[in-house]
Structure 1
């Protein structure tokens, strides 16, 4: 077992426990840990089982009805009317095709698509079931940047690039000489509903609503602040998996409809708040009033200074000389101790530690976290993560006054935008028979 033991080696370790006893215990522990493996290789008549509960999964594409132009501020609606199918929204994808052009038409554009350009094209996205909004994302470009930077790992790089998330140089390689591009965005990258709820949806009308942004400033990175550039959306479609189950597994699903049972859909909603920071070095920012219906679990903050121009990168966040940060839920503050950092002297270990601990906490696993950013990348593009997922009953059962206390080394600069992403619990009751969709009164 890799341990040498002699019967007469009976020395004390100074704590009253002999070395002989310690080694014997360790030997028994190693034997017990391998017992399962040994019994497994001897089980030559082990039963072989196959999972044939699902016959097949078909991916069907759905397009906006009768809409060929997607201009600024336009609302694009994609509807799936087939209510007799079993659909899997968690694995659905949004496809976008378009081109970046020079509006003067005298030459090819010098501008490039920026990081997360596809989602910066929209000001709001909504997911509806039976005409009820079950999840929505405002300013999806910023929202997914904050959530994705905390959630994604380096292993996601290829999938993210296919969704328009990557360096400007890499995205440029996906655009042809005439400016055409094509991206595929998993909906679980956009909505907490699609990320958390991984089951099929029975007998429901699905609708995806996309509201085009008022300009392309955040999607484009150019060498001058006001170039002759425009992004034209040519095609948008939604690919949804249809699940066909076996006859044996069809019966319990039919019984749900027959007995008029409601289904409970639980997920975490990503709610983005925005504000212009005051030109002071202390800010008491009141975020929102909420109830125990939507228990706040995480708060992710990011700051950007003067980004309203084509030559400014909207995908990068600024440190804004933050030295302390607190989130208050009523009288309870998170974190308990002072949040101390100084990006000028690269004193940011606590900020990075809180950022790196988000993944195992949010996805509930004990393994090693794999943050997307290294400490060096974090210094150049910081976000601030506050974990308030553990709360006492007084907070859960009362109206919550959420405030953020921010201290900076120097006053906020003019045109500093503060973004606060609040991730909170949502539970929806849906009745597949009556098509009623209701947010629960209690969690």
Structure 2
């Protein structure tokens, strides 16, 4: 049977069943009227009662025709709310210049279109009978708008002519597509020698990356809220990141409860194991004084002093220690600036995320991917974004954890040698390169 014929047959059955039910109800009502009138007027004839009922409750000609098989099929239609897409189709896509694109989605139109092309395999949808599917461009624009502004789901939906539930679905769909297709390619360690040379120009030799952590505020999670309250008293999750000399994220770890100390987060990552095993960086060493020094990462006092991790001196400092701390701090400013640009561009990180516990880490990771993408494309970070970010951040001050751990004795020797070389101005020795098999 053809689809059209099958549809007609189904509609006929439905309509016939409806009329049969109505006819049976009418017959029951007729019997009730007859019994009531007989009780009230014992001498009234059944004929009179039947005549009276037939004038009010009997089956109509149409009902009789339906019962005889002459069914009139009525096609039911799906209902969907009409929404306007003129603003997106005729204004944004055709009229907006690059400055307007940057203000609202933090990137120029060209970069936006490149991103859409990369995500198209995962986001392309088919039209349905109820409504036309959102285009890839519109899905990505909705997601970026929500991530880049503190606007509500309803406000973003009004802009694009969609419901707030559609906005939420678009954000998660785009976020999952980015983590699947772009995260492994964009957040990765680049050319190590270029990075080492970049930090050397800032005053610190044989440095591969800098490490730091920050807290992203969230709404309280059910049944486990106390685990997520950080030292400043608000609910959050931890974001730990390694950053190169240009402020690009090379490794991220996100999702630990905000109450957990940065050092504990670090020790429980795969990154820590790689660094311990010496497989994250090439086996490239330099001589500092009479000490060999591998490629190191730089951290704040929250992290442990290791052969491959240098951190500042604390307590009372002499002039040589202050110089060492200055050199280290100058390089560490890169990661702090990277966090500042990350949150300034993607303001959703400064508001209390209302996403599920599963989706919160995904969206934070996506913001890191978008940060790297915009940095690599030379997208301009607008000054007003920093001011807006500072305004939003006043309610959610980030924690300043200053814990000190026992240092490994060999790591102490390296730090002491670096301190001495900085104060005396000695050369750092000849670099010897060993590439691990």
Structure with the larger helix share: 2
With structure 2 as the length reference, what TM-score do the two structures score? 0.21
- Which has the bigger relative contact order, CA under 8 A and spacing at least 6? 1
With structure 1 as the length reference, what TM-score do the two structures score? 0.21
Structure with the larger strand share: 1
